[in-house]
Structure 1
């Protein structure tokens, strides 16, 4: 597949946002390191309160022996076992200053990474359910949970299917018309 290009002047960014979907099935083909680094760079560029940049990343590849144990930490183990790489986003507790703003920054970071995946024709899905077992996840990965707080993982791979999603009309989401 050819990479999508984003031109903010012609609506390319808005198209990228509107066509992004959760992809849960992958071909098994490896994802080039350069594409993962682009995703991480996109995450690094996310806004954060006072520019504290509290996010920290951990990449776990399909051939990493920790992947099997990581899969046991979530109801979505089949997704973990089939992806090429799991990208973990943590918050550095020492860098945090406002819980709500830092959580929002982590969300922005994840969204940037997800859009970067889509822009490179990769499939990804946000595994938020894994945060229900943060101690287990940190133990499996060798991450000190007194220093880092688990936010989520993105499962990433070459897509084996197109994503599907029906969005509510904007009118249903508006609290009032303007």
Structure 2
């Protein structure tokens, strides 16, 4: 099968991190589609411990969030940010719940791409949980920030490369 014939494989291969956005809002309909894609990620025991907070440009928390990362210009330029947090009371296995959050984030990034929008997964922002959660007005006793997805209408083309598959295999396929 040709990879170009499969829309899921094509989205996986074409998605790129976008860090520059047009000054244009993202519709609530698109945001709902993106959040719903995250909701359908797999999780251990189907516990779905993730929670989402959408902070749009113009919300004072958007600027406060920008102050929590060395990538402030990306946050400030985005139409919206999606904070992906784990609700601590809903967690059952730290490792599995973190893996599930990663799957959730990837689902949202793929949905964003297929909607013709652009996004970047900001991970550095989680290094200061207290400041980031405070900027979002969330209680660090209740939530653990996993990532912030900055998104908007792309104002750049993304680029990337990958190591050859052979360099990643521990054994050759037989």
TM range (shorter): over 0.9
- SS state at 2:89 partner: coil
Deviation at 1:142, TM superposition (A): 1.1
2:165 — aligned with what? 170
Distance in 1, Cα, partners of 2:42 & 2:4: 21
101-110 vs 164-173, which moves further: 164-173
2:16 — aligned with what? 21
2:138 — aligned with what? 143
TM-score between both structures, scaled by the size of structure 2:
0.96
Superposed CA RMSD in Å reads: 1.3
Output one character per residue of 1:3-43: Cα deviation in whole Å (capped at 9) or x when no partner: xxxxx993111000000000000011111111111000000
Kindly report which structure 2 residues correspond to 1:95-110, keeping only aligned pairs within 5 A, or say none.
95-110=90-105
Distance in 2, Cα, partners of 1:29 & 1:172: 41
Distance in 2, Cα, partners of 1:15 & 1:131: 30
Q: Answer whether contact 2:4 2:10 (CA < 8 A) is retained.
A: no
List runs of 5+ in structure 1 lacking aligned partners: 1-7
Deviation at 1:103, TM superposition (A): 0.2
Asked if 1:68 corresponds to 2:63, the answer is yes
Distance in 1, Cα, partners of 2:83 & 2:108: 11
Distance in 2, Cα, partners of 1:139 & 1:80: 16
Output one character per residue of 1:42-88: Cα deviation in whole Å (capped at 9) or x when no partner: 00000000000000000000010111111000000000000000000
Q: Answer whether contact 2:68 2:125 (CA < 8 A) is retained.
A: yes
1:4 — aligned with what? none
Q: How many residues align?
A: 171
